[in-house]
Amino acid sequence: MAEQVNAKQVNIEEVIAEQAITEQVITKQINAEQVIAEQVITEQVNADQVNAEQVISEQVITEQVFNEQVIAKQVIAKQFITEQVIAKQVNAEQVIAEQVITEQVNAELVNTEQAMAEQVIAEQIITEQLITEQINAEQVIAEQVITEQVITEEVISEEVIAEQVNADLAITEYVNAEQVIAEQIITEQVITEQVNAEQIIAQ
């Protein structure tokens, strides 16, 4: 992720946890309110998978320019990924059951000249990732690409979060009992000051 540049930021703590996400719905922010809607991944059912790559490509956040505001208390609360289950695989049947991201709750960012700003991306917990019974099959989770996430320039109170497009999830045949879950790369996220905006990221 590229830089988010903000003017006049005081005492910011930033904690960024890893994310493995396929769908992310982001709405536009106008006049100081930002809402990132629920991220829910339900039932990816795939059959016949062979030879593929899983890549989460660059997630780019461009300049956020603010005018004389210090933002207090930006909190991205608990993010849970519950039960990622890859159930029985027998001769080219793959079922990736419910992958649900619950409770991404974010507190308000109060606008206008607040000191001692805290930015916290809190706990991100991935529970139960189970892969059961692969018989005579080569499992590959095919190209899962999250392309550019662009947050365009912000001046004082307007913020636009551009669409985050999830590219093709192509899954093809698989053979002979090999399982490959390829790398997921999330690049740097640098977040500094934010001015004259009330940011709510609710999930």
Tell me the mean pLDDT in the region 148-161.
42
Q: Residue 29: which residues within 8 A CB-CB, separation 6 or more?
A: 35, 158, 159, 160, 161, 197, 199
Q: pLDDT value at position 83?
A: 45
Q: pLDDT value at position 158?
A: 39
Q: pLDDT value at position 104?
A: 38
pTM of the full predicted structure?
A: 0.15
Q: What token pair was written down for 120?
A: 């916290």
Q: pLDDT value at position 111?
A: 40
| 33-70: pLDDT as tens digits | 444 433 333 334 343 333 333 433 344 444 444 444 44
Nearest by Cα to 24 from 11, 12, 35:
35
| 167-203: pLDDT as tens digits | 333 343 433 334 444 444 444 444 444 444 445 444 4
Q: pLDDT value at position 123?
A: 46
For residue 110, give Cα distances in angstroms to 173, 194, 201: 51, 10, 13
Tell me the mean pLDDT in the region 112-133.
44
Tell me the mean pLDDT in the region 75-87.
44
User: At CA 132, angle to CA 128 and CA 133, rounded to 5?
Assistant: 175
Q: pLDDT value at position 19?
A: 45
| 123-153: pLDDT as tens digits | 444 444 444 444 444 444 444 444 444 444 4
Tell me the mean pLDDT in the region 71-86.
44
Residue 10 sits at φ, ψ, to 5 deg, of -120, 125
Q: pLDDT value at position 185?
A: 42
pLDDT confidence tier of residue 93, bands split at 50, 70 and 90 = very low
d(CA 73, CA 119): 6
Q: What token pair was written down for 98?
A: 């419910």
CB-facing half-sphere around the CA of 178: CA atoms within 13 A: 10
